[in-house]
Structure 1
């Protein structure tokens, strides 16, 4: 079996992100528990657990209008990556023991690499906005 390549991850992420509409964000937020449970159950995705929580926080703050200083392409990439993780019948079906989450981890890792600076800016904003005045 071929290893899931960066090129394949990029194609999957681009495809998923390209389909995301603003209306999809609310439905995605409702699936947060299911996605986080899948991440927790998967050895390959567990290392992204904290990042995935931050990604959901970004989507939630964007959806609620609290944080809008982020390009739509970043929101679409995050939503696309999270929706890809949720899909059990993606490029490498999640049921294939030992290999099923390789593609999910690849798509999440690539997404994090692409949105790194936007995610850092968001995390800094979140930290500052949480401080008492």
Structure 2
């Protein structure tokens, strides 16, 4: 009888531990998230809108309410990292989509650098996305 109670208690403890592990988003880790360009090719122009999605790479699900605290756009891929453009955050129109307004007046390869905090995760997500700006 004592062994049966011990075995039941051990099984319950194991089940509880597995349940917590399955429900814990912190187990994903910051490296399991990434920004992706919605459109990798953009038309050159003043007031260009860039959209990126933030996803959990394991589940493929969009990540809502991330806090993007650093953003930069420059021509580093074309060897001109000092050629930058102003960039402004815009309100989202779809869950998991983050939008930015910038002036891309030169065609070529541009790099969008983003840094964000994701709720429930420790660390900072940093991604550099390369897009092609065409006339």
Q: Which structure has the bigger radius of gyration?
A: 2
Higher relative contact order (CA 8 A, sep 6+): 1
TM-score (norm 2): 0.27
Between Structure 1 and Structure 2, the one with more helix by share is 1
More strand as a share of residues? 2
**How does the TM-score come out when normalised to structure 1?**
0.27
